Chains A and B, each alone.
Chain A
Amino acid sequence: MAKEQKMEKIKKVKMPIVAKQATTNMNRTKRMKEKKKAAQGGCRKKSGPHLPSSFLKELGFQKHPPNTSEQEEGEEDDDNLYEYEEPLPEEEMKKNRRFDQVENYEYELPKGFEDEDVPSDEGEDVPIDEDEVENDSEKHVRMLQSITGLPAAAFKGMEKRNVALTDVQSDLGGKITVHDLLDPLHGKTGYSMLRKRLNQLEKAPMAVQSPLPKVEREKLERKVTYEQSKKEISKWDPLVKRNREAPSLYFAEDIDLGVSTVGAIAAEHEPRTEFEKKMAALVGNPDIMEAHMKDGGRLLELNKVSVEDVKLRHNRLAKMRNLLFRHEIRAKHIKKIKSKTYHRILKKERQKTASSEMNMNPEAAKEAAIRQEFKRAERGLKAQDEGTRAAIAEQLHQHALLKRKMNSINDNSSSDESTDEDSDKLSPGSDGEGVARLLNKAKEKTMKLMEEEEEMPKSGVFALPFMHRGLKKQREEAYEEAHRALEEYECSLKSLDGEEAECQSSPDKNKGRRIFTGPKSQLKVPSTKEPNCLSGSDSEGDFEEFREKEEHTSEIRPNFQVQSALLPSDAETGQEKIFKNFDDVVKNPGSKTTYEVAIFASDSWKKMGGENSTANDLKNTAEVHANNVIAKLDSVERADKSDSDSDIEMVDGLLTSEHVPSYKLPSQDVLIHRAFAGDDVEAEFEKDKMDALNEEIPEPEKPVLLPGWGQWTHVQKKKGIPSILLEEHEREKRKREDSLKTRKDANLKHVFISEKVDKKTEKLHAKNLPFPYTSKEVYEHSIRMPIGPDYNPVISIGALNRPAVIKRAGVIIEPIKYEEIDPYGNSEAKKKPTHSSQKPKNTNKAKLAGRKTNNKS
């Protein structure tokens, strides 16, 4: 308060100064302003024209503005820089000297000034002023009086005392320093700071250099800020380095998953909408809460429903029920109406509405018409179909059956056995039986068809009399045809019967293919040959069999040996069986039954296929002539030499062979060549290698004479091939040699390594070096270690496969936080970068807890 008063005093001191030279008008305005300032007092704010910050800074350095006029000193002392400064009055600016110069700016006390009691001396000095002031004051007092109702003297006295105070102050003489002003503030808060600042201001030199040019200043500023920020940022360096070097970063370290219970979520809920708020008010009603907390008795009390409410509800329900009942009754009534007229009318009405709709909408009409038409057509077709459909289905079925049969006969490339068996069935061995079966089947079919066709369609188009007649005619024709077919079948069956009698005597055993019919016979057959087996010194099974074969043949006839010796070893297996067959037949004619049957079986085939006198001979005569055997062997040989499927032919067509041209011995040269086929393997290999090399790296073509050029005059012949071509050829040749030399097998005489590029393996190679790598070796070494769990101990699998950033979905990545780390610390320490010390969730928990307690209370 004291400070405020002082300020006021200063203003009062100044007031007359201004008043002295100013015109009355101006003076008034100024005074008003001064008063306002005074009213603001100590809580004067830094307000004023907005200045650029740089300018303000400049001002900060200067203690005094370069304004030497004494009259403003008082204000300067205040050190209120931001105060709005009134521009100099125009008379002071001495513009054109329009105003009279006033010499004395100093405030001089009037001579007659003696006591403060003197009511007003001002009037003496400035009479013009006084009047006005007087007037003003009087007016003011009057106004105050009217408002407050106090005597005017009370207000007047106050004013006077003020004036007196100022006068006392000014009476002390000399200048008032800032220190004087500050003294009473001693001991207040902020005093020391104020004083310090004042001291600084005093010490600072008065002279102020002119500010640097803007560019320079900005440059300096930038430099400073750069250095500052560099220092600031460089402290992060080790942190960033650590994070960069870390093999993987972790971002999900402390996640508290405990929050997401239903209760927790519900606890966090805050009512927002009107409804929610209402609900919350109800639920959170302390009465109810209390009731819940205590016991059910209070709850029951709260649960009471008023009688009115119940009544209302009851009424409402009754009304609804009544309405429903009425509706039901009405529906029943309408349904019960039997009157046709009523229904007709109803229907008509409906149609009317529909037709009106159609009229309105031509598309709907069209659609309806189409629907109608479709329905009609469908009805017609249904009636027609009944008869034909069955016939077509039957035909299709027949077709499918026949097709399957055909396929089963033709097919022999599929991998399942069943087809083979099928083909076996149809093979000549079992032919008679098969034919009979087929015939029987056909007969049955026709009978069935005939029976089926008795039925006549009784409705539809076919029911018409003329159609009926036509159908009957057709049917009769078909019937006749079927009869004819049946007769044919019967005929053929009868003819077959004779053969079948034979065949049926051994229906099971007529598969000629297998020789090892059972384990018994199997064991028996080789056991007889055991010594032979053992005597075979060579481990090759082929050879052994070969030997075995040979021996048997030799038993029969010695001159046969030549031919069997010349048999190619390829076909040994097929032959072997046959040999065995014959061997047994030859050796023990007593036990030949099975084989005889096998031969019998081929009888039917003979009938179909062609003639074979030798086979007949064999069948009829028990003894076997060596000649025969030879003939057969010849045939076998021929069969072997033919394709791979000759085996089949040979096995079940044992007796097929007609006369075959006998084997011709190759010439001596050929034989010798064959015998020494693998003599000079090395040279052969060399040749092969050269061929392969030529294939991989083709030899350049030799230059030839250019056609057409100087041919008539034989210029080319004389000059020879142009040197360019020759040179090129030479170059190509050299290139080829170079590439031959760089091959892996260049120095290996006995090895040829193919260097053909396999296109299929291209996808297994990397096309280019992956990004950070620059050398192939480094890349290939870096992928040498498998990283899967099958090849590494458990402890290192995680480390080997850890991703660069480990983060769970939804985790918020906090910005990096500063922390002190040793920049030269070893790499072990930097394993776990605390890049993100996630916000602990404890606060949340505390909050929840708090809430809970609140609820409880």
Chain B
Amino acid sequence: MVVRRLYVGSGRNKTGGEQDAFDELDPKAKKYLRGDAANLGVIRDKKLKGQLLDKEKLYGQTAKAAAKAEKWLMPTEVGYLEAEGLEKTWRFKQETILQEVDIISSRKPFDMILPDLGPYKLEYSLGGRYMLVGGRKGHLALIDVLTMRLIKEFQVRETVRDVVFLHSEQFFAVAQKKYLYIYDRHGTEIHCLKEHGVPLKLQFLDKHFLLASVNKFSQLHYQDVSTGEIVGNYRTGLGRTDVMQMNPYNSVIGLGHSGGKVTMWKPTSSNPLVTMLCHHGPVTCVSFHNSGYLMATAGMDRKIKLWDLRKFEALRTYSCSAQSLDFSQNGLLAMSNGSRINIWRDSVGNHDYERYMAHSMVKGYQVGKVCFRPYEDVLGIGHSMGISSILVPGSGEPNFDTWVANPYETKKQRREKEVHSLLDKLQPETIMLDPLKVGTLMPPTKKDKPNKGDLEAEMEAAIETAKSTVFKKKTKGRNKPSKRARKKEEAVLKTKRPFIEQQAEDRPLKKPKVEEAELPKSLQRFVRKKKTL
């Protein structure tokens, strides 16, 4: 067995060959172009065309430069497990993996047996350095996983349903028996948010500083934690649920319901953006890929489905059940079922997930939550008897951007970042299904397109007004009736013209109808069939 380049947080440079640098550049540069240039042939305006051409050239240079910089700024590559011969990667035990990896990495997996205070939930901070552990029976602990130091541990003596970090490890929100509480890292209760009702599940939208919760009465609350304002409060009307997950790409909240539906919400609309019927039974968990267009759902109907959120179609359907799902930064999918944990991976990149690793806890341990640690090849597991973590090579992003999240953040940096992130805070209305739509032209509303009758009426009215205008009495020669008549006619024509032109524009050019010839029967089987659920 081989563990390839397992970089667990430790930056190790790869001194690759230089000659293939330029070959790689193009596809990488394409990524930084962020899409193709517009078709400039359409533009008639020479000046604009020139400007855009200049800009496109600049963009090209920028992309190339960025791709080149990537070579040096992102030196580490993703690790993976490699099987030799008849070996299977999912047969590898953690012990064998541990023997292969470096010392620092070998310290990362652990098992913490906490039998008393019930099944545990866990949550990592954005940088992946801190872990928040919440026991069902009121046990809360904040652990620095880098040094394995316990920062704070205390008991709230109430049911704890969910825990979530706010923008930094300084604050965290806890869904307790009756209310939602916010504590700081010293365990001091900062706030008790009674408006949220009895929260079941929490999510924090870090770019928007919104704390989202779904409560016992299936109400979805959005609260701005920087201002304290309740941004949204919506009834889902689909029954009690504690399946909630944020799409990291567009910050849309996905909720799984007992009717097999998955709904997606944003804080500024009272209706779900999308309602999908994903399963025939209740949905047990939902998870979103980092790229934003891939969603995994698991239902009680013993199905795990992968969805393409651009087309809203199921890409794959696997029949196995899962209590919790989680996508890693690099797209590995972890799922837990009872005391067993499976990790899937699409090795080819076509979303054809297959088994990559497996791990089973001690029999009888019920895994409640699996959660990948950001920027590390580690999977955290919260189960009924405590918490554990295992090594999953290739799960975390090997190169971190200190502007986004820094696992080795100092106090000063953290403070600086807090200010910056507050300044860069996005408003709740910027959450939409396709965030690239911000800044584009407003989608045409129905009122903008007046129908033909309206247009005609408008024209009539305009003509009437033109006709009824009284002309000034001009001097002798110009006041002839013929001249006046002509003038009136001209005015009417002038008012008519824009309407007529508009109608002409609206009227589609008559095209010869292309008859869709029926394919010969031998070819008909190659016609793509419509996918059904």
Top 10 A-B pairs ranked by shortest CB distance? A781-B38, A765-B442, A796-B62, A750-B277, A539-B366, A760-B429, A772-B48, A793-B65, A516-B157, A778-B38
Tell me, yes or no, whether A349 is within 8 Å of chain B by CB: no
Determine whether the beta carbon of A767 is less than 8 Å from that of B442.
yes
Determine whether the beta carbon of B281 is less than 8 Å from that of A785.
no
Tell me, yes or no, whether B524 is within 8 Å of chain A by CB: no
Determine whether the beta carbon of B43 is less than 8 Å from that of A775.
yes
With A516-B157, A526-B137 given, is the CB distance from A570 to B366 under 8 Å? no
In this complex, the interface size class of chain B, counting residues with CB under 8 Å from chain A, is 35 or more
Chain A residues closer than 8 Å to B198, beta-carbon distance: 644
Q: What's the minimum C-beta distance from A411 to chain B, rounded to whole angstroms?
A: 12
Determine whether the beta carbon of A778 is less than 8 Å from that of B43.
yes
Tell me, yes or no, whether B394 is within 8 Å of chain A by CB: no
Q: What 1/0 flags go to B32-52 for Cβ under 8 Å of A?
A: 011111111011110110111
Q: How far is the CA of A763 from the CA of B438 in the complex (A)?
A: 9
Determine whether the beta carbon of B136 is less than 8 Å from that of A775.
no
Determine whether the beta carbon of B366 is less than 8 Å from that of A516.
no
Determine whether the beta carbon of A573 is less than 8 Å from that of B177.
yes
Which residue in chain A gives the minimum CB-CB distance to B68? A793
The interface stretch among A285-293, A527-535, A589-597, A612-620 is A527-535
Q: How far is the CA of A784 from the CA of B34 in the complex (A)?
A: 7
Tell me, yes or no, whether A274 is within 8 Å of chain B by CB: no
Q: How far is the CA of A539 from the CA of B40 in the complex (A)?
A: 58
A767-B442, A774-B43, A774-B45 given; name 16 further pairs at CB < 8 Å. Answer: A415-B191, A523-B116, A533-B384, A541-B368, A544-B119, A573-B159, A574-B177, A644-B178, A678-B281, A692-B271, A756-B271, A765-B438, A769-B441, A785-B34, A786-B34, A796-B61
With A537-B366, A760-B429 given, is the CB distance from A781 to B35 under 8 Å? yes
Q: What 1/0 flags go to A16-42 for Cβ under 8 Å of B?
A: 000000000000000000000000000
A-B contact pairs, 11 of them (CB 8 A): A245-B50, A415-B194, A519-B155, A682-B533, A754-B275, A760-B429, A761-B429, A764-B439, A774-B43, A781-B35, A800-B62
Instruction: Please pick, from A539, A762, A800, the residue contacting B442 in the complex, using a CB distance under 8 A.
Output: A762
Instruction: Please pick, from B240, B260, B366, the residue contacting A678 in the complex, using a CB distance under 8 A.
Output: B260
The interface stretch among A225-233, A703-711, A741-749, A814-822 is A741-749
Determine whether the beta carbon of A766 is less than 8 Å from that of B439.
yes
Q: What's the minimum C-beta distance from B404 to chain A, rounded to whole angstroms?
A: 9
Chain B residues closer than 8 Å to A417, beta-carbon distance: 189, 192
Chain B residues closer than 8 Å to A541, beta-carbon distance: 118-119, 136, 368
Q: What 1/0 flags go to A564-589 for Cβ under 8 Å of B?
A: 00000010011000000000000000
Tell me, yes or no, whether B274 is within 8 Å of chain A by CB: yes
Chain B residues closer than 8 Å to A768, beta-carbon distance: 441
Chain B residues closer than 8 Å to A530, beta-carbon distance: 115-116
Instruction: Please pick, from B37, B429, B532, the residue contacting A764 in the complex, using a CB distance under 8 A.
Output: B429
Q: How far is the CA of A772 from the CA of B44 in the complex (A)?
A: 10
Q: How far is the CA of A358 from the CA of B304 in the complex (A)?
A: 101
Q: What 1/0 flags go to B380-421 for Cβ under 8 Å of A?
A: 000011000000000000000001000000000000000000
Determine whether the beta carbon of B117 is less than 8 Å from that of A751.
no
Tell me, yes or no, whether B152 is within 8 Å of chain A by CB: no
Chain B residues closer than 8 Å to A351, beta-carbon distance: none
Instruction: Please pick, from B197, B268, B384, B533, the residue contacting A644 in the complex, using a CB distance under 8 A.
Output: B197
Instruction: Please pick, from A678, A757, A782, the residue contacting B282 in the complex, using a CB distance under 8 A.
Output: A678
Chain B residues closer than 8 Å to A756, beta-carbon distance: 269, 271
Instruction: Please pick, from A416, A745, A782, A795, the residue contacting B52 in the complex, using a CB distance under 8 A.
Output: A782
Q: How far is the CA of A760 from the CA of B266 in the complex (A)?
A: 12
Tell me, yes or no, whether A107 is within 8 Å of chain B by CB: no
Tell me, yes or no, whether B55 is within 8 Å of chain A by CB: yes
Q: What 1/0 flags go to A344-387 for Cβ under 8 Å of B?
A: 00000000000000000000000000000000000000000000
Chain B residues closer than 8 Å to A644, beta-carbon distance: 178, 197-198, 216
Determine whether the beta carbon of B51 is less than 8 Å from that of A247.
yes
Tell me, yes or no, whether B425 is within 8 Å of chain A by CB: no
Majority-rule SS of B interface residues: loop
Which residue in chain A gives the minimum CB-CB distance to B192? A415
Determine whether the beta carbon of B38 is less than 8 Å from that of A753.
no
Tell me, yes or no, whether B292 is within 8 Å of chain A by CB: no
Instruction: Please pick, from A745, A758, A760, the residue contacting B312 in the complex, using a CB distance under 8 A.
Output: A745
Tell me, yes or no, whether A116 is within 8 Å of chain B by CB: no
Chain B residues closer than 8 Å to A765, beta-carbon distance: 437-443
Chain B residues closer than 8 Å to A749, beta-carbon distance: 532-533
Determine whether the beta carbon of B35 is less than 8 Å from that of A784.
yes
How many residues on chain A are close to B (CB under 8 Å)?
A: 82
Tell me, yes or no, whether B530 is within 8 Å of chain A by CB: yes
Chain B residues closer than 8 Å to A405, beta-carbon distance: none
Which residue in chain B gives the minimum CB-CB distance to A413? B194
With A775-B42, A781-B38 given, is the CB distance from A753 to B274 under 8 Å? yes
Instruction: Please pick, from A539, A767, A772, the residue contacting B45 in the complex, using a CB distance under 8 A.
Output: A772
Q: How far is the CA of A570 from the CA of B242 in the complex (A)?
A: 13
Chain B residues closer than 8 Å to A757, beta-carbon distance: 443, 445
Tell me, yes or no, whether A105 is within 8 Å of chain B by CB: no
Tell me, yes or no, whether B280 is within 8 Å of chain A by CB: yes
Tell me, yes or no, whether A752 is within 8 Å of chain B by CB: yes
Q: How far is the CA of A763 from the CA of B429 in the complex (A)?
A: 9
With A539-B367, A766-B440, A766-B442 given, is the CB distance from A685 to B261 under 8 Å? yes
Tell me, yes or no, whether A108 is within 8 Å of chain B by CB: no
Tell me, yes or no, whether A113 is within 8 Å of chain B by CB: no
Q: How far is the CA of A743 from the CA of B266 in the complex (A)?
A: 20
Q: What's the minimum C-beta distance from B42 to chain A, rounded to whole angstroms?
A: 6
Q: How far is the CA of A399 from the CA of B331 in the complex (A)?
A: 65
Determine whether the beta carbon of A754 is less than 8 Å from that of B274.
yes
Q: How far is the CA of A647 from the CA of B179 in the complex (A)?
A: 12
Determine whether the beta carbon of A570 is less than 8 Å from that of B192.
no
Q: How far is the CA of A750 from the CA of B279 in the complex (A)?
A: 10
Q: What's the minimum C-beta distance from B182 to chain A, rounded to whole angstroms?
A: 9
Determine whether the beta carbon of B118 is less than 8 Å from that of A533.
yes
Chain B residues closer than 8 Å to A126, beta-carbon distance: none
Determine whether the beta carbon of A799 is less than 8 Å from that of B438.
no
Determine whether the beta carbon of A782 is less than 8 Å from that of B441.
no
Which residue in chain B gives the minimum CB-CB distance to A747? B530
Tell me, yes or no, whether A343 is within 8 Å of chain B by CB: no
Interface positions of A from 496 to 520, Cβ below 8 Å from B: 514-516, 519
Q: How far is the CA of A780 from the CA of B194 in the complex (A)?
A: 44
Interface positions of A from 260 to 308, Cβ below 8 Å from B: none
Interface positions of B from 213 to 246, Cβ below 8 Å from A: 216, 240
Q: How far is the CA of A751 from the CA of B42 in the complex (A)?
A: 36
Q: How far is the CA of A517 from the CA of B261 in the complex (A)?
A: 42
Interface positions of A from 512 to 565, Cβ below 8 Å from B: 514-516, 519, 522-523, 526-527, 530, 533-539, 541, 544
Determine whether the beta carbon of A754 is less than 8 Å from that of B271.
yes
Q: How far is the CA of A822 from the CA of B530 in the complex (A)?
A: 61
Tell me, yes or no, whether B69 is within 8 Å of chain A by CB: yes
Chain B residues closer than 8 Å to A760, beta-carbon distance: 268, 429
Which residue in chain B gives the minimum CB-CB distance to A777? B38
Which residue in chain A gives the minimum CB-CB distance to B271? A754
Q: How far is the CA of A781 from the CA of B48 in the complex (A)?
A: 13
* Residue among B34, B58, B266 having the largest count of chain A Cβ atoms under 10 Å: B58
Determine whether the beta carbon of A792 is less than 8 Å from that of B66.
yes
Tell me, yes or no, whether B430 is within 8 Å of chain A by CB: yes
Q: How far is the CA of A766 from the CA of B126 in the complex (A)?
A: 33
Interface positions of A from 699 to 755, Cβ below 8 Å from B: 745, 747-754
Which residue in chain B gives the minimum CB-CB distance to A246? B54
Determine whether the beta carbon of B313 is less than 8 Å from that of A766.
no
Chain A residues closer than 8 Å to B159, beta-carbon distance: 573
Q: What's the minimum C-beta distance from A228 to chain B, rounded to whole angstroms?
A: 29
With A515-B157, A751-B275, A754-B274 given, is the CB distance from A776 to B430 under 8 Å? no
Tell me, yes or no, whether B273 is within 8 Å of chain A by CB: yes
Q: What 1/0 flags go to B239-255 for Cβ under 8 Å of A?
A: 01000000000000000
Q: How far is the CA of A763 from the CA of B268 in the complex (A)?
A: 13
Q: What's the minimum C-beta distance from A642 to chain B, rounded to whole angstroms?
A: 14
Which residue in chain B gives the minimum CB-CB distance to A686? B277
Tell me, yes or no, whether B364 is within 8 Å of chain A by CB: yes
Tell me, yes or no, whether B462 is within 8 Å of chain A by CB: no
